[in-house]
Chains A and B, each alone.
Chain A
Amino acid sequence: MAVVNVRKRSTDMGPDLIRTRRLESWSRLGLLAPAAALLLGVFLIPLGVMLWYTFTDPNPGLENLTWYLGDPVQRNVLLRTFTTAITVTAACVVLGYPYAYAMVAAGPRLRAVLTLLVLVPFWTSLMVRTFAWIILLQDKGPVQAALSALGFGHVALIRTNLGVVIGMSQIMLPFFVLPLYAVMSNIDRRLVLASSSLGARPVTSFRRVWLPLSLPGVGAGALIVFISSLGFYVTPALLGSPNDSLISQQIFTQVNSLLLWGRGGAMGVVLLGITLVILGVLMASARILTGRQDERVE
């Protein structure tokens, strides 16, 4: 059926062009095969195995999921994972929005400096940065010294949730700033000028013109930060306290230390499910919102 369609459409082009413009199905298959085989072997099948363990290990049935959803300790862990991810996302929005705005508003030289400063952590190894945060946040470390010099007294940072949030926000900030910067630099700045020439005060023209136009960038950046934060392992494991562990640490413990594959699998299923649901809902709502905007423009 598909082949028939292809032949029909191709009659209005020369035969040479067809050959180069449209890959025939066998060569398309050949090009996709290596990547598809990889994805199948070390992504889809592993996820399938995890699902299999969830419902069969040690006994067939729903016991792993009912254990997970019924255990108050695990419920706390899930809640803490969510609040940590939300806090990190909020911190990235608050710190990253003015920064991205400054990148757009600055002159070329300052912009280059600001871009470089975002890209440095972006390129720096996650393990290196987490190690650096251990040094910075350690007891009697530089951050603690600075805080007590400012009169905050003794603030515990390492092995606390606060330390985890500080480290994770620094690690995630470039992922928020870069998409937001891309959106902001595409905003037509004459719109702001137009609104102020129509008598809007700077605050009003920011709120009514600039902010709504930059929101898609905020959404994209926040989504990346939030989803990555839900599954973060290394940073919370090294900066946080074992008593305040997040879901990924629990998965690691269940599988790697306790060899409880079914329980680890159940937690993995829940984490993956939550990620997919959030992604689906947000992408659908973004589609609805942009659809509405298009209508308004028309």
Chain B
Amino acid sequence: MTRVSTRVWRGILVAFCALVALWLVAPALVVIPLSFTDKPSFVFPTTGFSMRWYENFFQDPTWVGSLLASLRVGLLVVFFATICGTAAAVALTRSKFRGQQAVRAVLLAPMIAPVIVVAIGVYAIFLRAHLLGTTFGFVVAHTMLALPFVIIPVTVSLQGFDRRLSSAAAICGASRWTSFRQITLPLIAPGVVSGAVFAFVTSFDEVVLALFIQSPYLQTLPVKMYGSVTRDIDPTIAAAATLILIFTTVITVAVAIYFSRRNHAR
């Protein structure tokens, strides 16, 4: 009796999870076929097959320009956020000082503060400073949003780091920088790498702040997509979305391979 009811419960759970799983992947499942439709509409299920929306994407300078802008901003954000975030994480874990909790809270605050609230303040300042639609403005604003996503994984890695190793390096005569570069950095690399990936995705994906600080001369890909969705029915956006999907999947798989190799090496 109880065995039967456990089996029934398990069946219900499996069916339920299958439905939730379908719901989770449904968006990816519609975007890809839609990008190959042969009609200039969002009708789904699609008919026919054509590559014209991809041709459109790569021939339209505004789409290609926004993709390049997103990549440029994203890579610069990775560079600055990883360096600043790692440095901050080192300072926060390796020393104790007054006001440390407050500093940590402020550094992590961009993660929970509603982006729209930060965005109007940034917009006001950038408007005065003539930073709207500049790469500098995008990089600075996105680096701020990305910092917590670097600080958190790097802090976790540093907490698992045996500090006697840096002491040993110091006893062997290594300067603090040498010891960081040769001992600490290789050991906390997983945290730094995941922080860098998070930083890239945060910038590459960000819409709300970007909508405020964009200009017709500099639009990132999400901003261009937002404009396209609100203005016209054009499956080129499905091609753009599919390209983003492929791109993020490649990054995720590459990182997953990096981590599994690393674990095997141990």
Q: A interface vs B, CB < 8 Å?
A: 2, 16-17, 19-23, 25, 27-28, 31-32, 34-36, 38-39, 41-50, 53, 95-96, 98-99, 101-102, 105, 114, 117-121, 123-136, 138, 140-142, 170, 173-174, 201-202, 227, 230-231, 233-234, 238, 248, 251-252, 255-256, 261, 264-265, 268, 271-272, 275, 279
Residue B257, interface by CB 8 Å? no
Is the Cβ of A121 less than 8 Å from the Cβ of B117? no
Main SS of the interface on chain B? helix
Q: Could you tell me which residues of chain B, from 1 to 49, have a CB within 8 Å of some CB in chain A?
A: 2, 6, 9, 13-14, 16-17, 20-21, 23-28, 30-31, 34, 42-45
Is the Cβ of B17 less than 8 Å from the Cβ of A255? no
Is the Cβ of A132 less than 8 Å from the Cβ of B179? no
Q: How far is the CB of A157 from chain B (nearest CB, A)?
A: 13
Q: Find chain B residues with CB under 8 A from A114 CB.
A: 17, 21
Q: How far is the CB of A241 from chain B (nearest CB, A)?
A: 14
Is the Cβ of A251 less than 8 Å from the Cβ of B44? no
Q: Which of A20, A117, A127, A279 has the most chain B CB within a 10 Å cutoff?
A: A127
Classify chain B's interface size.
35 or more
A134 to B44, CA, bound (A): 11
- 18 sampled A-B residue pairs with Cβ under 8 A: A17-B170, A19-B170, A38-B84, A39-B144, A42-B141, A42-B144, A43-B110, A46-B124, A98-B16, A99-B21, A125-B241, A142-B45, A174-B24, A202-B2, A202-B6, A202-B9, A248-B208, A271-B116
Answer whether A38 and B112 are a contact pair too, CB < 8 Å, given A117-B21, A131-B237: no
Q: Out of B44, B114, B122, B179, which one reaches A46, CB within 8 Å?
A: B122
Is the Cβ of A251 less than 8 Å from the Cβ of B13? no
Q: Find chain A residues with CB under 8 A from B265 CB.
A: none
Is the Cβ of A35 less than 8 Å from the Cβ of B27? no
A44 to B107, CA, bound (A): 10
Answer whether A135 and B117 are a contact pair too, CB < 8 Å, given A43-B144, A98-B13, A125-B244: no
A234 to B147, CA, bound (A): 22
Q: B interface vs A, CB < 8 Å?
A: 2, 6, 9, 13-14, 16-17, 20-21, 23-28, 30-31, 34, 42-45, 80, 83-85, 87-88, 90-92, 94-98, 103, 106-107, 109-110, 112-118, 120-125, 140-141, 143-144, 147, 151, 163, 166-167, 169-171, 176, 179, 201, 204-205, 207-208, 211-212, 221-222, 225-226, 229-230, 237-238, 241, 244-245, 248-249, 252
Interface contacts (Cβ under 8 Å), in number, total 260
Is the Cβ of B252 less than 8 Å from the Cβ of A102? no
A249 to B, closest residue via Cβ: B116
